[in-house]
Structure 1
Amino acid sequence: MSTQIEIFRQLLCKLGQEIRDTLYQHQQRNTEELSAIAAKTQADTIYEIDKVSEELILAWLKENWPAHSPVRLIMEGIEDDQFVTFPANAEKNELLHQLIIDPIDGTRGLMYDKRPAWALIGLAPHILERQVTLEDIEVAVMTELPTSKQFISEQLSATRFSDGETAFYRVSKNLISNEEHEVPHRLSKATDLKHGFASIAKFFPQCKAALAQFEEELYAELTPENETQEALIFDDQYISTGGQLYELIAGHDRLVIDVRPLAFEKANLPLALSCHPYDLCTALVAKAAGVVIELPGQETLDIPLDTTTPVSWIAYANPMLAEKIRPVVSRLIQKHF
Structure 2
Amino acid sequence: MIRAANELLSTIRQIHTAIRDEVVATCERDSLNALSEIVADQAGDTIFAIDRVSEQILLQHFEQLGSRWSFVLVAEGLGEDGLMVFPPETDPTQAELVIIIDPIDGTRGLMYQKRAAWILTGVAPNRGTSTNLSDIELAVQTEIPLVKQHLSDCLWAFAGQPAQGERYNRLTGESTPLHPQPSQAQTIAQGYGNISRFFPGVRAELAAIDDELILRTLGPAAAGKVQAFEDQYISSGGQLYELMMGHDRWVADLRPLAEPLLAARGQASGLCCHPYDLCTELIARQLGIIITDEHGEQLSAPLDVSTDMSWIGYANSAIHEQIAPALKTLLAQHFTPKSSS
- The residue identity in structure 1 corresponding to 2:123 is L
SS of corresponding position for 1:158: strand
- What does 1:118-129 align with in structure 2 at a 5 Å threshold? 118-128=118-128
Q: Does 1:143 align with 2:142?
A: yes
Question: Does the Cα contact within 8 Å between 1:276 and 1:310 map onto a contact in 2?
Answer: yes
Superposed CA offset, 1:104-158 (max 9, x none): 1000000001110001011111014x61111000111110000110010000011
Aligned to 2:215: 220
- The residue identity in structure 1 corresponding to 2:118 is W
- What does 1:71-90 align with in structure 2 at a 5 Å threshold? 71-79=71-79, 81=81, 83-90=83-90
The separation in 2 between residues aligned to 1:299 and 1:8, in whole angstroms, is 29
Aligned to 2:164: 169
Aligned to 2:50: 49
Q: For structure 1, list consecutive stretches of 5 or more residues without a partner in the other structure.
A: none
Superposed CA offset, 1:246-277 (max 9, x none): 00000000010000110122331444411111
Please identify runs of 4+ aligned residues in structure 1 that moved more than 4 A.
225-229
More displaced 10-residue stretch of structure 1: 270-279 or 198-207: 270-279
Aligned to 2:284: 286
- What does 1:235-246 align with in structure 2 at a 5 Å threshold? 235-246=230-241
Aligned to 1:32: 33
Question: Does the Cα contact within 8 Å between 2:2 and 2:125 map onto a contact in 1?
Answer: no
- The residue identity in structure 1 corresponding to 2:32 is T
Q: Does 1:249 align with 2:244?
A: yes
- The residue identity in structure 2 corresponding to 1:201 is S
Structure 2 CA distance for partners of 1:304 and 1:3, relative to 1, 3 Å: closer
- The residue identity in structure 2 corresponding to 1:328 is A
Aligned to 1:317: 315
- The residue identity in structure 1 corresponding to 2:9 is R
SS of corresponding position for 1:256: strand
RMSD (Å), alpha carbons: 1.7
More displaced 10-residue stretch of structure 1: 117-126 or 284-293: 284-293
- The residue identity in structure 2 corresponding to 1:216 is D
1:226 shift after superposition? 6.5
Aligned to 1:132: 131
Structure 2 CA distance for partners of 1:82 and 1:23, relative to 1, 3 Å: closer
Q: What TM-score, normalized by structure 1, do the two folds share?
A: 0.94
Structure 2 CA distance for partners of 1:282 and 1:271, relative to 1, 3 Å: farther
- The residue identity in structure 1 corresponding to 2:24 is Y
1:69 shift after superposition? 2.1
1:83 shift after superposition? 4.1
Q: What TM-score, normalized by structure 2, do the two folds share?
A: 0.93
Q: Percent identity?
A: 38
- The residue identity in structure 2 corresponding to 1:230 is K
Superposed CA offset, 1:138-191 (max 9, x none): 11111000011001000001111xxxx223111100012110000233231112
Q: For structure 2, list consecutive stretches of 5 or more residues without a partner in the other structure.
A: 336-341
